[in-house]
A and B are shown apart, each in its own frame.
Chain A
Amino acid sequence: GQNIDQPTEMTATEGAIVQINCTYQTSGFNGLFWYQQHAGEAPTFLSYNVLDGLEEKGRFSSFLSRSKGYSYLLLKELQMKDSASYLCAVFDSNYQLIWGAGTKLIIKP
């Protein structure tokens, strides 16, 4: 079966750095997405990786290793507004989007 694993919950301190990991086992691979979802709001697109390596967008970076079936989302200079759930999703060989259950990130002052 197809599966995406990410931690259920993480806690970090304001101003610090946090890394949210995602591992996947899918039938084929056509790219990996990270979304942010604040409580009661829409998931919003953060990043898309299809090639190995690091993509940087301001305070957020996303890394992909296709050989390891692994990605991470790195958040720097954490702010209280970064408290949210972070969803990892993978396009399989048929461009079906397979979703992880999300990681709830709690930021403490």
Chain B
Amino acid sequence: ETGVTQTPRHLVMGMTNKKSLKCEQHLGHNAMYWYKQSAKKPLELMFVYNFKEQTENNSVPSRFSPECPNSSHLFLHLHTLQPEDSALYLCASSQEVSGGLSNQPQHFGDGTRLSIL
């Protein structure tokens, strides 16, 4: 148990579907992250929320839409995805200081394995 829970664990969807990934952290952290993990590639940072404000959007296509209603919950809304979007999507959290300059480790959930048909 890492303190970060992601649902669902597996998701298969067609390119025209709309679905959402959910992440919840029970660690009292104030920053949350979405990453994409593809086989044999480095983790790709997608979005960062620090104190509920989005501070990072790494040129992610608009078919991915994040939502952070509070410091414990993070969503990733998906629509009209492409086959190359099939990957493991990881959520992480950390305790950051105001201004975002902190060396605290990130704590990860088990991820959602997404397959696009």
Contacts and interface: CB of A to CB of B under 8 A. Distances in A.
Interface of A: 4, 8, 30-31, 33, 35, 40-45, 48, 50, 87, 89, 91, 95-102
A106 to B, nearest CB: 15
B108 A91 contact: no
Nearest to A42: B108
Nearest to A44: B2
A72 B83 CA distance: 36
Given A42-B109, A42-B110, A43-B90, A99 B43 contact: yes
Contacts of A43: 43, 90, 108
Contacts of B106: 45, 97
B102 interface: yes
A101 B111 contact: no
B100 interface: yes
A95 B45 contact: no
Contact of A40 (B45, B102, B110): B110
B40 A44 contact: no
Given A89-B43, A95-B101, A98-B42, 8 more contacts: A4-B42, A42-B111, A44-B108, A91-B103, A95-B102, A96-B45, A97-B45, A101-B40
- For the complex of A and B, list the 8 residue pairs with the smallest distance between their C-beta atoms, beginning with the closest: A42-B108, A99-B42, A99-B43, A45-B105, A42-B110, A43-B108, A101-B42, A31-B103
Contacts of B22: none
7 contacts: A8-B40, A40-B110, A42-B90, A43-B43, A44-B108, A99-B42, A99-B43
Contacts of A102: 40, 42
A35 B43 CA distance: 12
Given A95-B101, A95-B102, A45 B107 contact: yes
Contacts of A40: 110, 113
A67 to B, nearest CB: 20
A89 B45 CA distance: 12
Contact of A42 (B2, B45, B102, B113): B2
